[in-house]
Chains A and B, each alone.
Chain A
Amino acid sequence: MRLPAGTRDWLPEELAAKRALEASLRGVFAHFGYREAATPSFERFDVIEAGLGKALGEESFRFTDRRGTTMALRPEMTTPIARLVSTRLRGAPMPLRLCYIAPVYRYEEPQEGRMREFTQAGVELIGNGSVEADVEIMLSALEALDAAGLPDAHIDVNHAAIVDAVLREVGLEPHEARVVKGLLGRRNLVALRAFCAAHGTPSVQVLPELALLRGGEEVLERLLRYVPHPRVDGGIARLRAILARAASISMGHRIAIDFALLRDFEYYTGLVFEAYVPELGFSLLGGGRYDGLLGNFGFQAPAVGWTVGVERLLIALERRGGIPAAEDAAAQYLVAGDDRVARALRERGARVLRALGGSEEATLLAEARVRAIPRIVVAGICIEVLDGSRCPVEEVLAAGARDGLA
C-alpha cells in the first residue's frame, strides 16, 4: 500500500495549516481585486506544449484517452489560464485580474520542496503591458509573502529584454545567445568563461562579470558602463520604476537586481523575479511578464503574473517554528443524551461532539480529556472539565444567545 513517489497525504492538522495559509493568500488576492478561476487537472498535451515549449512539456505526466489523443496533467497554471482567457474571456473588459490555488503535476525527481504533485497559488494580470502593471504584480508578491508570515522574504528581479539586448549588443548570434542564457541562468561562470575565451571577441569578455552583477539601482549604471549603448532603455526604466515604487512603501530594501536571474519557462519576455528566504536553498515564488504567451492561443494580449509553491511556503514557515495558528477546529462541547441540546448549541455556533458511548459522567469526562474538549453536557448539566464546576445547560444556551458562546 505505497503512495506514488513524489505525492503525499495531508493529515487533518497538516491540512488545517495549509488551508490557513491558502486563506491568507486568498485574502491578499481579494485585496488586489483578483478573482479566482479554476481549470481541469488535465489538458490536451498540445495546449501544454503550446504554452511551455518542448523542454518543459517533457516534464509533464502524459496519458492517452481512448481515441489516442495525448493528454497531460497540467505542470503549471499559467498556460491553462492563458488558454481559458484566449478562448472564453477574450471579450471581457481588460485588464483581467485572475488568481488560482490549485494542484499541479511534474515528472521530476522528488526531493525537499519538489514534489510530483504540489500546490501553486498565483495571480495573472492580463491585457495591460504598462510599468504600473509590473509594479502591481511585484508588490502583490511582496504582500502575499508578508501575509504568509515571511515579512523578511527578499525578491530579486531582472528583465529578459535587457539580457537579450545585451547579448545582441556584444555581438552574439541567436544560437550563441541561447547557450549563454543557459549558462547565465545557472550562473555557471566556469563554462561561461570557457565560452568567452573560445569566442574570442573582446566585447563578449564582459559576460562573466555581468553574471556576478547584483544589487540596487547602481547595478543598472554599471550595466550601462559595461555595455555602452544597449537598446535596453525600456527594461531599465521598468526596473527603476519598480525599485522607486517599492521604496515609496518601504519595501525597497527587499528587492535587488540580479542580472543572471532567468526563469526556466520560455514564455517570459520582460520583467522576471524570484523570492527567497535566507534559510532555504530554493526559491519560493517566481514570476514575470509573458507578452507572447496568449498569442500562442490566438489572442494577442500582454500579461504578467507570479506563482508561489504553497508547500514550499509551509516548509519555510515550519523551519521557523510553525505555521501561524490555524483557526481552532477542535470541539468545544461533548454532549450526551439529549439531541435537542446538541442541536441548540450548534445553532449558536458551537462545535459539538455527540458522545456515542453512553452517558456516565466519569466516562464522558475521560473522553473529553483525551480529546481536549473543555466542557461536557449530560442530563441537562454543563460541566467544566478543568475544574468540575457545573451549571444548568439552559444558562449556557441563554448566554450563548447573548454573546455567541465563543
Chain B
Amino acid sequence: MSLTIAVPKGTLLDESRRRLANAGLRLPEDVGRRLVLDDPESGARFLLLRPSDVPTYVEFGAADCGVVGADVLWETERSVSELADLNFGYCRLVVAGPRASGFHQGRPLPTFCRVASKFVRSAESYFAERDLPVQIIPLHGSVEISPVVGLADLIVDLVATGRTLAEHDLVIVDEIAPSTARFVVNPVRFRAKYEEVTALLERLQCDV
C-alpha cells in the first residue's frame, strides 16, 4: 500500500518538494499542468491542490495525508489529524489597519468596524472572543487595498515579510497567531496505512 499525498500549490510547494525528496519521495520539479503525479519508484501519488482544498481532500480520504499551512486548517475546520509542525512557511495571521488610524497605538476599535479578510472564520472568532461586534467583509485576494480605497477599516491577513503591508501604509494592530506548514493525515488512514504514514512522519521530521 502506498500513500496518496496532497501537496499545496503556491508558496509551500518548493519546500514541500524538498522535504518529500529528503523522505525519499520524488515530486518532479517541472509539473507542467498536471495535477496528479505518480512517483513510480516509491509508489507515492501526489495531488497538487489549491492550499485551501488540501484539508478537504484529506478529510474525505481522497488523499491519505498532506502538507498544509496552519492558517488553512484554522479556516477550514476539517477533521484531520495534525501530526507534525514542519517548521517552514512561517508567517503570521494579523489584524492590520492604516497607519493614520492609530489603532496600533491603542486607539479603541469602533463598534461595527468593517474587517476585510480571506480568513473569515479566524477573523470572526478573534473579534467574538473580544466581544467586539464587527462586520466581516469576505474577500478572495488583494485584501490589503481594501482600507486604502475605503472598503474596510481593518484587515485580517497573513504576513510573511510585512512588505505588502508597508507598501499600502498599513501597520499591525495585533498578532492573532503564527502559522507554519503542517503534516496532516486522515484519521482512519492513519490506522489503515499506519506503517507508511508513521515512516513518512518520521522522515519528514528528521529534516529540521
**Which residues in A have some Cβ–Cβ distance to B below 8 Å?**
111-112, 154, 156, 186-191, 193, 212, 214-215, 256, 258, 276-283
Contact = CB atoms under 8 A, between A and B. Distances in A.
A153 to B, nearest CB: 10
Contacts of B58: 281
Contacts, number: 61
Contact of A189 (B70, B84, B186, B187): B84
B194 interface: yes
Given A277-B192, A280-B188, 7 more contacts: A186-B82, A186-B187, A190-B82, A212-B201, A276-B192, A281-B189, A282-B61
A256 B82 contact: no
B135 interface: no
A384 to B, nearest CB: 48
A188 B81 contact: yes
> Closest 6 A-B residue pairs measured CB to CB?
A281-B61, A187-B81, A278-B192, A190-B82, A276-B188, A281-B186
B79 interface: yes
Nearest to A111: B60
A278 B193 contact: yes
A403 to B, nearest CB: 48
B1 interface: yes
B83 A189 contact: yes
Given A154-B191, A212-B198, A214-B194, A187 B83 contact: yes
Interface residues of B, number: 26
Contacts of B62: 281
A311 B166 CA distance: 54
Contacts of B192: 154, 276-278
B59 to A, nearest CB: 7
Contacts of A279: 61
Contact of A256 (B59, B61, B182, B191): B191
B16 to A, nearest CB: 17
A190 B191 contact: no
Contacts of B182: 190
